[in-house]
Structure 1
Amino acid sequence: MVPFCNEPLAELYRDECIVVVNKPAGLLSVPGKPPNHEDSALSRLQRINPETRVVHRLDMSTSGLMVFGLDADSHRALSRQFQDRLVEKEYVAEVWGKLEKPEGKVELPLRCDWPNRPKQMVDHELGKPSLTLFQKIENQRPEFDRVLLKPVTGRSHQLRVHLAELGHPILGCEFYSHPEAQQASNRLNLHATKLSFMHPLTEAPVTFISDVPF
């Protein structure tokens, strides 16, 4: 059973084509199976405008920026940008331990771990390519590192798996962290902090930024 998320879904921008929101941790991106999984970012927005359409998703435990289309043409244009990897996405994570390198990349093939879904796993034979660029950024807590993440691909749980494979699982991660890292935070310390794309109507580049809440 998914608990109801009491935090509001903050709108950062709305016009006739799109709405950009800051999704709180603990809120689904889209509704799950009823009767206990109906609250979501999409369902809340559809109560304002029933034509709202989902373009991409964040894990329930991940907070941060999402864009939704408000009509069929805008939805199609945005979806094409995500599919063609024309959207710039940045995340910030707080991870267990200290990274040896200040920056680098993780490139591993991933697939669903079906007996343990929704978990994902590295599979060099059947997995699909995935690539994440990472860079250490300043953190006030000396025992943990804060990392800027730029996913080139968009596989499910990609950032969580990649950091766990580096030996630095994200704090609060319920799937890939060891008990100490999981208990180090009361939430998943992963936030979608930047989203850049071309406006579907004007085709002008737009960028949205969201402050890290942890």
Structure 2
Amino acid sequence: MTGQHRGTGNGPAEEPDPLGLRERVLYRDPAAIVLDKPAGIAVHKGPKGGLVLEDGFGALRFGAPRLPQLAHRLDKETSGCLVLGRTPGAIAALGRLFAGRGVEKAYWAVVEGGPAGEEGLIEAPLRKRDAQRGWWMVVDAQGGQPSATRWRVLGRGGGFSWLEMVPVTGRTHQLRIHSAHSGFPILGDAIYGRAPRTGARLHLHARHIAFTLEGRRVDVTAPVPLHMQAALSLTGWRPEA
């Protein structure tokens, strides 16, 4: 990580931190925060309501006059690097970076089975399934939006593969549906894979993110979440020192 400030910083807590978000700050500067998002919590309010990550953003002010705001989103069940903007100018600039592919992103996934090769590109156009299914997506060669994902194998074992996945485009659920469409669904995926609808933990992690904002290079790697470690170990991953 470049130019980073980890953890809670100096001084007493400004506001209550019921979600423990200050301990999950991977990087902080005057313009941005990179948070290690936990799996299992949505980033913002949806039609079903309930507690969401944004409800804890008061704990991430660190003396700023405004609450930080999301610069992008991660699925509820996806963990890892999540970027927040701290000022109106930074939020606008981050929006341009994400829209213009000015952000480098890499995900780790444990998939069932795995691809035949060691690296490749998945190109499969995607569209929303229907209005009733909300964010659920389907592959549609005729009516879908162009969607592409690069992947490479980092390890194999136990009937699983450990992939690094880089989204070339940024469609909803892209990595999940591209994996399933290619014959190697992500472990724990209850929508596109073979996992049960209750109790499954998605093995998809936003491992790395990098961008330049207001002249500062931000380069952050999120630690592997506990719920992915056992399956990753089968594929050859070893805990970081």
Q: Which TM-score tier does this pair reach, normalised by the shorter chain?
A: 0.7 to 0.9
| Shift >4 Å, 4+ stretches | none
Letter in 2 for 1:212: V
Of structures 1 and 2, the larger Rg is shown by 2
Is 1:204 aligned with 2:220? no
Residues in 2 aligned to 1:112 and 1:33: alpha-carbon distance in whole angstroms: 17
Give 2:55's match in structure 1, choosing from 10, 22, 43. 43
Structure 1, unpaired ranges of 5+: 1-5
Distance 1:55 1:73, change over 3 A: same
Residues in 2 aligned to 1:22 and 1:46: alpha-carbon distance in whole angstroms: 16
Residues in 1 aligned to 2:200 and 2:81: alpha-carbon distance in whole angstroms: 20
Q: How does 1:26-37 map to 2 (within 5 A)?
A: 26-33=40-47, 36-37=49-50
Q: Report Cα offsets for 1:33-83 as digits up to 9, x if no partner.
A: 47x42x222221134434311110000000000110011000011110001
Q: Report Cα offsets for 1:152-181 as digits up to 9, x if no partner.
A: 1100000000000110000100100124xx
Match of 1:94 in 2: 110
SS at match of 1:146: strand
Contact 2:60–2:67 (CA under 8 A) maintained in structure 1: no
Contact 2:19–2:56 (CA under 8 A) maintained in structure 1: no
Match of 1:147 in 2: 163
Contact 1:88–1:196 (CA under 8 A) maintained in structure 2: yes
Match of 2:143 in 1: 126
How many residue pairs align between the two structures? Answer: 201
Distance 1:82 1:131, change over 3 A: same
Give 1:103's match in structure 2, choosing from 119, 137, 141. 119
Residues in 2 aligned to 1:195 and 1:81: alpha-carbon distance in whole angstroms: 12
Residues in 2 aligned to 1:7 and 1:61: alpha-carbon distance in whole angstroms: 16
Match of 2:99 in 1: 83
Match of 2:176 in 1: 160
Per-residue deviation, 1:27: 1.2
After TM superposition, the score normalised by the length of structure 2 is 0.78
Match of 1:59 in 2: 75
Root mean square deviation, CA, Å: 1.9
Structure 2, unpaired ranges of 5+: 1-17, 229-241
Identical counterparts, % of pairs: 35
Residues in 2 aligned to 1:44 and 1:32: alpha-carbon distance in whole angstroms: 16
Residues in 2 aligned to 1:190 and 1:176: alpha-carbon distance in whole angstroms: 13
Distance 1:147 1:7, change over 3 A: farther
Contact 1:7–1:24 (CA under 8 A) maintained in structure 2: no
Letter in 1 for 2:78: T
Per-residue deviation, 1:186: 3.5
